Amino acid sequence: MSYEFVLTETRGRVGLVTLNRPKAMNALNNQLVRELMDALEAFDKDDNIGAMVVTGNEKAFAAGADIKEMSDKSLQQMMDNDLVGGFGRMMKIRKPVIAAVSGYALGGGCEVAMSCDMIVASETAKFAQPEITIGVIPGAGGTQRLTRAVGKAIAMEMILNNRTLSAQEALQFGLVNRVVPVERTLDEALKLADEIASRAPVAVRVAKKMINQAYELGLTDALNQERQEFYDLFATEDQKEGMKAFIEKRKPDWKGK
Ligand code: DAK
């Protein structure tokens, strides 16, 4: 499939999606969001892919939703807008997605990064939810995912008063997994994705699902579901292979089933 605002490529078992609207700081217009989700869903369905990386450029991961595109929209138009469904599609991706963030990750850009499963940030990364400066609030998970990641105190400051987090602060507050020099950011994210893509595919997907359930379910329901998922993995060939390989002191040969 060919896209206008994203570039896609594969690196071994990793699918790489690069946001590519540099003149507008990768502002997320409807088409870009649709293309990003189409690209992720295509990799999610591809048996040769085990994990994905989403990145931008050195200046901007993404500077938010496209303000020019939405400035004149009515309430009804916003509600009917593709953007709403667009962002939601990310929650249905089953394989791990890692964001490689350099420069600005603002508003919807920060929300896309937070919708990924892990974030590798460059030393230049800046995370903010500046919607308050244009008279609105985050609309794609900012008030919820940010609060869960950094806690209420910092989320309040960021969302009510446009506090920007440096990469180091984002690391300190638990928003990102690691901070690396800008020139190594994509490689680090690809390496992490490649390592995860080499692990037992079904178990990786189930593990991602269950970690996300920690934010959805109460503890007892979540523990029950976790235990059942654990049992269910004994119906996979990979569980037999993984344990046999351990006993035979060799590397497992995963089948993904
Ligand atoms: N939208 C549209 N264009 C943008 C943009 C944006 N968010 N950010 C940057 N650009 C454009 C600029 O207008 C400029 O275009 P030209 O004037 O050259 O045509 C070009 O990118 C370069 O930007 P600057 O000239 O401003 O570059 P600087 O280095 O001076 O500043 C900046 C970079 C990123 C600090 C600045 O551009 C900036 O503050 N940008 C806006 C950041 C922002 O407020 N972002 C939050 C947007 S609101 C929803 C879900 C989510 C959302 C909405 C709905 N639903 C589910 C319905 C999300 C909302 C948001 O993200």
Rounded distance between C-alpha atoms, residue 10 and residue 75, angstroms: 39
Residue of 34, 67, 73, 126 to mutate, ligand 1, most atoms within 8 A of C-beta:
67
Rounded distance between C-alpha atoms, residue 92 and residue 89, angstroms: 6
Rounded distance between C-alpha atoms, residue 238 and residue 201, angstroms: 8
Q: Give pLDDT tens digits for 93-133.
A: 999 999 999 999 999 999 999 999 999 999 999 999 999 99
Nearest C-alpha neighbor of 7 from the set 47, 51, 50, 54: 54
Q: State the pLDDT at residue 81.
A: 79
Residue 187 banded pLDDT, cuts 50, 70, 90: very high
Higher pLDDT, 148 or 87: 148
Rounded distance between C-alpha atoms, residue 17 and residue 221, angstroms: 35
DSSP notation for 205-226: HHHHHHHHHTTTS-HHHHHHHH
Residue 85 banded pLDDT, cuts 50, 70, 90: confident
Supply the mean pLDDT for the chain: 96
Q: Which residues are catalytic?
A: 65, 108, 111, 131
Q: Give pLDDT tens digits for 12-68.
A: 999 999 999 999 999 999 999 999 999 999 999 999 999 999 999 999 999 999 999
Which residues form the pocket of ligand 1, taking CB atoms under 6 Å from any ligand atom? 24-25, 27, 63-68, 78, 81, 83-84, 87, 104, 106-108, 111, 130-131, 134, 139-140
Residue 1 banded pLDDT, cuts 50, 70, 90: confident
Give Cα separations from 216 to 7, 14, 96, 209, 220 (angstroms). 33, 28, 18, 11, 12
Q: Which of 1-5, 179-183, 187-191 has the lowest mean pLDDT?
A: 1-5
Q: Is the pTM here over 0.95, yes or no?
A: yes
Is the Cα dihedral 158, 74, 40, 140 positive or negative?
positive
Cα of 61 vs centre of ligand 1, distance in Å, is 11
Q: Give pLDDT tens digits for 106-115.
A: 999 999 999 9
Q: State the pLDDT at residue 16.
A: 98
User: From the centroid of its chain, how far is CA 75?
Assistant: 28
Residue ID of nearest Cα to ligand 1 atom 38: 63
Q: Give pLDDT tens digits for 188-242.
A: 999 999 999 999 999 999 999 999 999 999 999 999 999 999 999 999 999 999 9
Q: Which residues is 119 bridged to in the sheet?
A: 99
